[in-house]
Amino acid sequence: MTACRPYDNGTRISEPAPQSLHEDRPESTILFVRLADLQDGPERDHVRNELVALWLPMAHRLAGRFHDRGEAMEDLRQVAALGLLKAIDRFDPDRGAFESYAIPTITGEIKRHFRDRMWAVRVPRRVQDLRNKVRVARRELTERPGSPEPSTAEIAAHTGLSEDEVSAGLEALESFSTLSLDAELTAGDDGYSLGDTLSITDSSFDTVVDREAVKKALRRLPERERTVLYLRFFEDMTQNRIGEKLGISQMHVSRLITRSCQRVRKEALGQPVNHAA
């Protein structure tokens, strides 16, 4: 008895009852040879669907390994099925057993799903890898009943990572899911939400606005004036050192800074500027 199921690419395949098929059936090899010789068309689609039906139980078993990661089992099975389709389309029957090729392909597709779709906060791949190592280490160090929560130093010693890397991995553990801004932080009628704690305006916002406002004006300054401002305000050089570097007097440096700042301020405020000055 079989049942038809749709997949994302529009293909409908027959899903067999798990007990009726096994991935080691010899007809799999014959079907792969046929598939390699067929051009796109109904016959190729039929052979491809037969292979999917043969190997789908294995894909579902691989998906089952990730059942405790916070994703619905049905969604994991769909991702595994897509990985199986990719493995079938890319497999070369002259290069070994399909199972050896399919398992890492399907597993990789599931892991990419978690990496790209399941993180509530986007973090770099390196940090995600650190998170996985830290998560496994914590589980291994607390396997015995009554084992205390391992310290950062203990996790570092167990994994061979530095304590800074372990700290980054621990922080990433909290990035996989988010807390609603409406979530109450205290119990009772007088409780307040997380959003209530975020109402204070950060004073650094004003600095960001000011920087954006002067960007265009700074670009319009002559190169020497831009250099003077950069050395003074970004390299923190004194006017005397700037004068020595550029071959001009300290007084001239002072005049250039004053004139440039006035010009940038006027442009940022939309006031007329005498560009010939």
Report the alpha-carbon distance of residue 204 to residue 160 in Å, rounded.
Answer: 39
| Angstrom distances, CA of residue 71 to CA of 174, 197, 248, 259 | 16, 30, 67, 61
Residue of 182, 179, 200, 201 whose CA lies nearest to 191: 182
| Number of other CB atoms surrounding residue 78 within 10 Å | 17
Tell me if 264 sits within 8 A of 217, measured CB to CB.
Answer: yes
Query: Distance between the two ends of the chain, CA-based, in angstroms?
Result: 88
Residue type, 150: P
The fold of the 119-200 domain, in CATH, is Arc Repressor Mutant, subunit A (1.10.10)
Pick the CATH number of 2-117 from 3.40.50.720, 3.40.50.300, 1.20.120.1810, 3.50.50.60: 1.20.120.1810
Report pLDDT for 75: 85
Report pLDDT for 188: 54
Please report which residue ranges of the chain form alpha helices under DSSP H. Answer: 27-37, 42-64, 73-90, 98-117, 125-141, 152-159, 163-173, 204-220, 223-233, 239-246, 250-268
Range(s) of the chain covered by CATH 1.10.10.10: 204-268
- Tens digits of pLDDT across the chain (277 residues): 444 444 444 444 444 434 334 445 567 888 888 888 888 888 989 988 989 988 999 999 998 888 776 677 888 899 999 999 999 988 888 877 888 888 999 988 888 777 666 555 566 678 778 877 888 888 888 877 777 888 889 989 988 989 888 888 887 766 655 555 566 655 555 556 655 656 556 666 677 777 777 888 888 889 999 899 989 988 889 999 999 999 999 999 999 999 988 888 888 777 776 655 5
Report pLDDT for 195: 59
Q: Is the pTM of this model over 0.85?
A: no
H helix or E strand, kind and range, residue 3: strand 2-6
Tell me if 91 sits within 8 A of 17, measured CB to CB.
Answer: no
CATH number given to 204-268: 1.10.10.10
Report the alpha-carbon distance of residue 87 to residue 35 in Å, rounded.
Answer: 13
Report pLDDT for 20: 37
Report pLDDT for 117: 63
| Angstrom distances, CA of residue 66 to CA of 124, 137, 245, 267 | 21, 17, 62, 58
Tokens of residue 137, six digits: 């280490």
Tokens of residue 241, six digits: 């050192």
